[in-house]
Amino acid sequence: MKVSRTFAVGVLAAAATVGIVAQTKLQPQDEDYAKLVKEWTTKPEFSSPLVDHLPKVAGIPTTKDVLGYYVGMPKKLTHTADLAKYYNALAAASKRVKVFQLGKTDEGRECLVIAVSDEDTIRDLDTYKGYLAKLADPRGLSADQAKEIIGKAKPIYMFTGGLHSAETGPPEMLMELAYRLAADESPLYDQIRKNVIVMMSAALEPDGRDRYVDWYNHHMLSQESENDRVPGPPYWGKYIFHDNNRDINYSQVTMRNWLKFYLQWHPPIMHDLHESQPLLYTFSGQTPQNPTLDPILYAEMPWFSDFEMTKMIGYGMPGVWTHAFVDMWSPGYLGFMSSNHNGMLRMYETMGNGGANTMPRTIGGGAGGPGGPDGPGGAPEASAAAGGAAGAGRGGRGGGMTARDWYRPLPPPRTLTWSMRNNTNYMETGVLSALELTSKFPQTVLENFYMKSRNSVKSGETEAPFGFVLPVQPDMTRVAFIVNILRLQGIEVGRARAEVKLKEGTFPAGSIVVKRNQPYGRLAKILLEKQVYPDPALQTYDDTGWTMGLMSHADVKEIADKAVLDVPVQPVDVMDVNGVVKGTGAITAILHNGSNYIATLRYRLKDVKFEAIEAAVKVGDVQLPAGSLLVQSSPRVKAEIEKLGLQAVTMAKAPDVAKHAVEIPRLAVFSTWGSTQDVGWVRYALDHFEVPYDLIYKERIKQGGLRGAYDVIVIPSQGRGGAKGLIFDIESRGKAIDYQKTPSFPSLGSYGESADITGGMGLQGVAEFDKFVNEGGLLLTLGASSFFPAEMGITRTVDAARTTAAFYAPGPIVEAEILKPTHPIFYGYDKTTVPVRWAGGPLLRATGTEGRAWTLMRFPGNDSSVLSGLMRGVAETRGRPAIMDVPVGQGHVVMYATNPAYRWQNLGEFNMLANAILNFNDFPAPKAPAKPVE
Ligand SMILES: [Zn+2]
């Protein structure tokens, strides 16, 4: 064992290296590591003096000691059980390390956090947790008290990796980082341990991590080049892929674990590690920026990214850049839990190979490449968000990746051989530089954190809106949805103790009041206000609109009257809505007032006979809206209504109005193997509301006999490119790619199995769908899937066109006009103009005169129809159908240009899907075309 080190660094790095050497204590070094890492690093300039060596400390295990390999070994990825095994071994050996379990995933894996700092700090972690909690909520702290706490506190710097499962490097790198932080005795590490508490995730999405590692081991080990591309696995987590970074309402249990962690520990910095861009992009917070967030944040972000770039260029590492990829508009990314809560968001993209194979790569054009789902080109990432030409707006806006620019002073070479170890070297050098900066300025980081928290409270006292009121309204379940998400986010919510009189109106006692003068008052504003996009010429990476009231069709009043701050309220922890059944008559009528739990009630009482009334009717002094359900009264019915927060009245006999039986259909949801994410959101919503279905794939479609098995088939939005994508799906290259559970690959084969995921349902599948509809089935096509029936002639008299290149609509909320309010699809909608999320679906048009009869809802397409976010070229949507009910043979196709189950956000639209399912055999029969249309 020798104590000196050999440096494999380029000429540019030499000067920097000298400085590091001078500071380095002569700790014994792991020669084996240095030799292998040099071998795995494809060029000297792809490494740095921070990561080309590893100290060897008796008793502190490296990954080699525990798992048998060093991080970055070609063709080696680590399952979550082994990540945990390593971190637990490290924590058992070092008093500088602690491991926490946060909670379980959908599939029962643990979410793990690892903390590393000096021994004293780790021992007193709860004390430091307490200091940060005080700075996070500085109400009642004097300036002097705050100063005193800042003097004693230490910032937590939290690293997260493995949110996107194809981006395989971060969970590997973080193990090595933890080791260095625990074992390296050089001054840099002393300083970091003394001044910073470093925390990291083992893997943010543990289910996806294991599934991807299995998939990689099964299908990707032999991949030698980018051209040799193997598709990724059909699933990461249980429901979604990249949208785990768009889950603004924290629907997914794993993401909720992380938010809970955040709000317990309040890390002032959170740094999310992704892969897709060459060679390291460090996010500096470019425009469009959400103007509600603190200006301090927007100063901090480039402070850090410029420091990292400076250091890394100093080491001679090319391809580090800070601008022209992601922006600061949408607050829905997972890492934004930090900036949304007055912390500092940080984000990297490095270049991954979609696994640990070393391969030649070409940079430029469509970056990303294998395993680069965040990148432009081939990336499903911004799929749902982007409308029309929006895809072009993502990423790469700064021109060629190999071009020199002010934010990329040392561009990367165009062609290179890239390895997992290179990727590790980049990430680790970057994060060590960030830790160096934090450890030099811990007080500044803490002061900023305190000031941002304090400013948030203050801004609620000085800037309108001063609050929001959610008045008592007919359906309180959607109010509860909003309230409970605000609560999950740590926002304080109260219930008015008495009637509230404000300039905006008078609201009854019990109305919900959200005051802005609280630490997360800015976040409340961001989530509840209408999004006014700053500049239509600016492109953005994801959604431009998310206003919770509009998405939920709940009444949310923005309050400019400062008196709202003084309204006496009872704090709400979790909002439960107790349903009410009035009276003791023989028949119970459940008011359809838009609650999504109407469907849940029907399914919970499967064996009970329900009828729906087809028009509104008054019973006594209660108005029953169309679609209200009638059922024989019973204690069981009453109990479920109360549990689900529904409103009901009883009566002696059923009202005299047209009605039909509400039967439960045999329901299937069709998924391609190549695009399961938007299907996943529909599945999530159906599961949440307890609507059972079969999830079917091409294998089932090709078997035929669909009508014999199903009454309703939903095709969630898929195949963005039009019908072809849905039909042919993953291109077959002559070699089967199976997705099956085996003893060696136990995480595969979840949520469906296939001996070959390629090839799609093909034309044979189209014929089966055609038959299904003609034989009386109800086919529901959502969003982009509505190209399918139009383009394949299942609905021969409907065209599906595309928006022009000038059109740009990244997820705004727009008006839609209900033309057939008596259609069962609109049960529970009491207004004829409703907000819908623009889904990037087709521009539908009936080619015959029957279009008017078949169009249930349309887009007015005026400038004033854009309610939140950005739609450029709104006139292209003018008069286009938003939903059509097209009779075909004995059946119907309901074509939604909208997506009524989008990312667990637009719960106001969900009934347009649920109503179609529950009233599947009671659609009015619009006249089929009398003669063929020209
Ligand atoms: Zn990513």
Predicted pLDDT at 916:
98
Alpha carbon of 164 to ligand 1 centroid (Å) = 5
Average pLDDT over residues 557-571: 98
pTM: predicted TM-score of the whole model, two decimal places: 0.94
Predicted pLDDT at 17:
46
**Cβ–Cβ < 8 Å for 608, 673:** no
- In this structure, what DSSP letter does residue 275 have? E
Predicted pLDDT at 386:
33
CA distance linking residue 864 with residue 241, whole number of Å:
34
Alpha carbon of 310 to ligand 1 centroid (Å) = 24
Q: Is 175 left (phi over 0), alpha (psi -120 to 50) or beta?
A: alpha
Query: At residue 13, does pLDDT exceed 50?
Result: no
Predicted pLDDT at 718:
93
CA distance linking residue 777 with residue 768, whole number of Å:
11
Alpha carbon of 841 to ligand 1 centroid (Å) = 25
Alpha carbon of 217 to ligand 1 centroid (Å) = 21
CA distance linking residue 132 with residue 268, whole number of Å:
8
Predicted pLDDT at 400:
82
User: Which tokens belong to 26?
Assistant: 């002569």
Q: What percent of the chain has pLDDT over 90?
A: 90
**Cβ–Cβ < 8 Å for 371, 352:** yes
> What's the alpha-carbon Rg for the chain, to the nearest Å?
29
Alpha carbon of 163 to ligand 1 centroid (Å) = 7
**Cβ–Cβ < 8 Å for 261, 200:** no
CA distance linking residue 250 with residue 236, whole number of Å:
17
Alpha carbon of 372 to ligand 1 centroid (Å) = 7
Alpha carbon of 417 to ligand 1 centroid (Å) = 22
CA distance linking residue 369 with residue 379, whole number of Å:
9
Alpha carbon of 274 to ligand 1 centroid (Å) = 4
Instruction: Find residue 359's DSSP bridge partners.
Output: 418
Alpha carbon of 235 to ligand 1 centroid (Å) = 15
CA distance linking residue 674 with residue 234, whole number of Å:
6
CA distance linking residue 291 with residue 294, whole number of Å:
8
Predicted pLDDT at 849:
76
Report the alpha-carbon angle 710-714-718, nearest 5. Answer: 140
247-272 tens-digit pLDDT: 999 999 999 999 999 999 999 999 99
Lowest pLDDT segment from 10-14, 695-699, 809-813? 10-14
Query: At residue 162, does pLDDT exceed 70?
Result: yes
CA distance linking residue 122 with residue 98, whole number of Å:
7
Alpha carbon of 433 to ligand 1 centroid (Å) = 21
Alpha carbon of 106 to ligand 1 centroid (Å) = 20
Alpha carbon of 498 to ligand 1 centroid (Å) = 48
Q: At what angle do helices 125-136 and 253-265 cross, to 10 degrees?
A: 90
**Cβ–Cβ < 8 Å for 292, 330:** no
Residue 158's H or E segment, with its range, is strand 156-161
**Cβ–Cβ < 8 Å for 111, 257:** yes
Alpha carbon of 425 to ligand 1 centroid (Å) = 18
Average pLDDT over residues 103-107: 98
Predicted pLDDT at 482:
98
Q: Give Dmax (Cα) for the chain.
A: 94
Average pLDDT over residues 286-301: 98
For residue 408, give the 3-state DSSP assignment: strand
CA distance linking residue 405 with residue 132, whole number of Å:
39
Which residues have a Cβ under 8 Å from the Cβ of 495 and sit 6 or more positions away? 510, 511, 512, 513, 569, 570, 572
Alpha carbon of 34 to ligand 1 centroid (Å) = 29
CA distance linking residue 131 with residue 456, whole number of Å:
18
User: Which tokens belong to 684?
Assistant: 């999530």
Predicted pLDDT at 209:
98
Query: At residue 481, does pLDDT exceed 90?
Result: yes
CA distance linking residue 768 with residue 774, whole number of Å:
10
Lowest pLDDT segment from 218-227, 237-246, 664-673, 778-787? 218-227
Alpha carbon of 716 to ligand 1 centroid (Å) = 23
Alpha carbon of 348 to ligand 1 centroid (Å) = 9
Query: At residue 6, does pLDDT exceed 60?
Result: no
Alpha carbon of 70 to ligand 1 centroid (Å) = 24
β-pairing verdict for 667-670 and 712-715: parallel
User: Which tokens belong to 57?
Assistant: 């400390």
Report the alpha-carbon angle 482-512-331, nearest 5. Answer: 35
Alpha carbon of 244 to ligand 1 centroid (Å) = 10
Alpha carbon of 36 to ligand 1 centroid (Å) = 28
Alpha carbon of 393 to ligand 1 centroid (Å) = 17
Average pLDDT over residues 724-739: 94
Alpha carbon of 418 to ligand 1 centroid (Å) = 18
Alpha carbon of 781 to ligand 1 centroid (Å) = 29
Query: At residue 713, does pLDDT exceed 60?
Result: yes
Average pLDDT over residues 727-746: 95
**Cβ–Cβ < 8 Å for 257, 237:** no
**Cβ–Cβ < 8 Å for 776, 891:** yes
Predicted pLDDT at 925:
73
Query: At residue 394, does pLDDT exceed 70?
Result: no
Alpha carbon of 162 to ligand 1 centroid (Å) = 8
pLDDT band at 852 (very low <50, low <70, confident <90, very high): confident
State the alpha helices, DSSP H only, in 41-79.
63-67
pLDDT band at 365 (very low <50, low <70, confident <90, very high): low
Predicted pLDDT at 314:
98
Query: At residue 931, does pLDDT exceed 90?
Result: no
Alpha carbon of 615 to ligand 1 centroid (Å) = 49
pLDDT band at 719 (very low <50, low <70, confident <90, very high): confident
- In this structure, what DSSP letter does residue 157 have? E
Average pLDDT over residues 867-889: 97
Alpha carbon of 276 to ligand 1 centroid (Å) = 7
- Classify residue 299 as exposed, middle or buried by CB count within 10 Å of its CB (0-12, 13-18, 19+): exposed
CA distance linking residue 876 with residue 476, whole number of Å:
36
User: Which tokens belong to 759?
Assistant: 């090839």
As a three-state string, the secondary structure of 465-493 is CCEEEECCCCCCHHHHHHHHHHHHCCCCC
DSSP string of 886-905, one letter each residue:
EEETTEEEEEESS-TT-TTT
Alpha carbon of 224 to ligand 1 centroid (Å) = 22
**Cβ–Cβ < 8 Å for 629, 598:** yes
Alpha carbon of 44 to ligand 1 centroid (Å) = 27
Alpha carbon of 157 to ligand 1 centroid (Å) = 20
Average pLDDT over residues 803-832: 97
**Cβ–Cβ < 8 Å for 351, 372:** yes
Alpha carbon of 159 to ligand 1 centroid (Å) = 14
Other Cβ atoms less than 10 A from the Cβ of 269: the count is 25
- In this structure, what DSSP letter does residue 566 have? G
CA distance linking residue 213 with residue 236, whole number of Å:
10
CA distance linking residue 245 with residue 547, whole number of Å:
18
Alpha carbon of 275 to ligand 1 centroid (Å) = 6
Terminal-to-terminal C-alpha distance of the chain: 86
Residue type (1 letter), 871? M
pLDDT band at 24 (very low <50, low <70, confident <90, very high): low
Q: What is the mean pLDDT of the chain?
A: 93
Which residues have a Cβ under 8 Å from the Cβ of 157 and sit 6 or more positions away? 196, 197, 198, 199, 267, 268, 269, 271, 434, 435, 438
Alpha carbon of 583 to ligand 1 centroid (Å) = 55
Alpha carbon of 333 to ligand 1 centroid (Å) = 10
Alpha carbon of 58 to ligand 1 centroid (Å) = 37
CA distance linking residue 321 with residue 758, whole number of Å:
37
26-78 tens-digit pLDDT: 899 999 999 999 999 999 999 999 999 999 999 999 999 999 999 999 999 99
Alpha carbon of 692 to ligand 1 centroid (Å) = 32
Predicted pLDDT at 399:
59
**Cβ–Cβ < 8 Å for 255, 332:** no
Query: At residue 143, does pLDDT exceed 50?
Result: yes
**Cβ–Cβ < 8 Å for 271, 346:** yes
CA distance linking residue 109 with residue 81, whole number of Å:
9
Alpha carbon of 630 to ligand 1 centroid (Å) = 49
Lowest pLDDT segment from 19-28, 351-360, 451-460, 573-582? 19-28
Alpha carbon of 171 to ligand 1 centroid (Å) = 13
Predicted pLDDT at 3:
41
Alpha carbon of 347 to ligand 1 centroid (Å) = 10
Report the alpha-carbon angle 841-899-832, nearest 5. Answer: 100
Residue type (1 letter), 860? P
Alpha carbon of 784 to ligand 1 centroid (Å) = 23
Alpha carbon of 241 to ligand 1 centroid (Å) = 10
Alpha carbon of 346 to ligand 1 centroid (Å) = 13
Alpha carbon of 430 to ligand 1 centroid (Å) = 17
Instruction: Find residue 892's DSSP bridge partners.
Output: 778, 887
For residue 186, give the 3-state DSSP assignment: coil
Q: Tokens 């469907």 correspond to what residue?
A: 599
Alpha carbon of 814 to ligand 1 centroid (Å) = 29
Alpha carbon of 284 to ligand 1 centroid (Å) = 16
Predicted pLDDT at 23:
46
Alpha carbon of 242 to ligand 1 centroid (Å) = 7
User: Which tokens belong to 339?
Assistant: 């900036």
